[in-house]
C-alpha cells in the first residue's frame, strides 16, 4: 500500500480536500496524510463543500510538514505550487507532483466548489495510477 502525503501552504483547504477524497476513494488502496508548510486550521468552507457531497472531514486537523518524516512516504503531492519551498528530501520520493491549484481563500463559495471538483479529479487519477 502506497503512503501519500498531500502538502499545501497552511493545510487548510486544498490539501484537506485531497486527504478527504483520498481517504474515501482510496480506502484500502492507499494510506494518506496531509500537511502544510505551517499548520493552521481547516477552513469552515472546506468542511462545507466536502459535506455537500457526503464526505465528512470534520475530524481532520491541520498539521505541519515538519512533524513528518519524508522517508515514511512514497508519494508527495503539492497542491499549491509550494514544491519549490519543500526540503529536498520530500521532492525525491518515488512520486512527486505539484498540481498548482488555485487557493480559494477569500473567494466565493463557487470557487471552493470549482477547486473541490478539480481536487477530486486529480485524486481519482492519482489513485488509478498507483494501483
Q: Which of the residues are catalytic? A: 8, 80
Residue 90: which of 76, 104, 72, 103 has the closest Cα?
Answer: 76
Task: State the Cα–Cα distance between residues 100 and 98, nearest whole angstrom.
Answer: 6
Strand order in the sheet with 75-78: 30-36, 2-8, 75-78, 95-98
Amino acid at each position: 500500500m502506497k503512503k501519500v502525503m498531500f502538502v499545501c501552504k497552511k493545510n487548510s483547504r486544498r490539501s484537506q480536500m485531497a486527504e478527504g477524497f483520498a481517504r474515501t476513494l482510496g480506502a484500502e488502496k492507499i494510506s494518506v496524510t496531509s500537511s502544510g508548510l505551517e499548520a493552521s486550521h481547516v477552513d469552515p468552507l472546506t468542511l462545507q463543500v466536502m459535506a455537500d457531497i457526503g464526505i465528512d472531514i470534520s475530524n481532520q486537523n491541520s498539521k505541519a510538514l515538519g512533524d513528518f518524516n519524508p522517508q515514511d512516504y512514497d508519494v508527495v503531492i503539492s497542491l499549491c505550487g509550494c514544491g519549490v519551498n519543500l526540503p529536498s528530501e520530500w521532492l525525491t520520493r518515488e512520486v512527486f507532483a505539484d498540481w498548482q491549484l488555485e487557493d480559494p481563500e477569500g473567494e466565493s463559495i463557487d470557487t471552493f466548489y470549482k477547486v473541490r471538483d478539480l481536487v477530486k479529479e486529480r485524486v481519482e487519477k492519482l489513485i488509478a495510477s498507483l494501483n
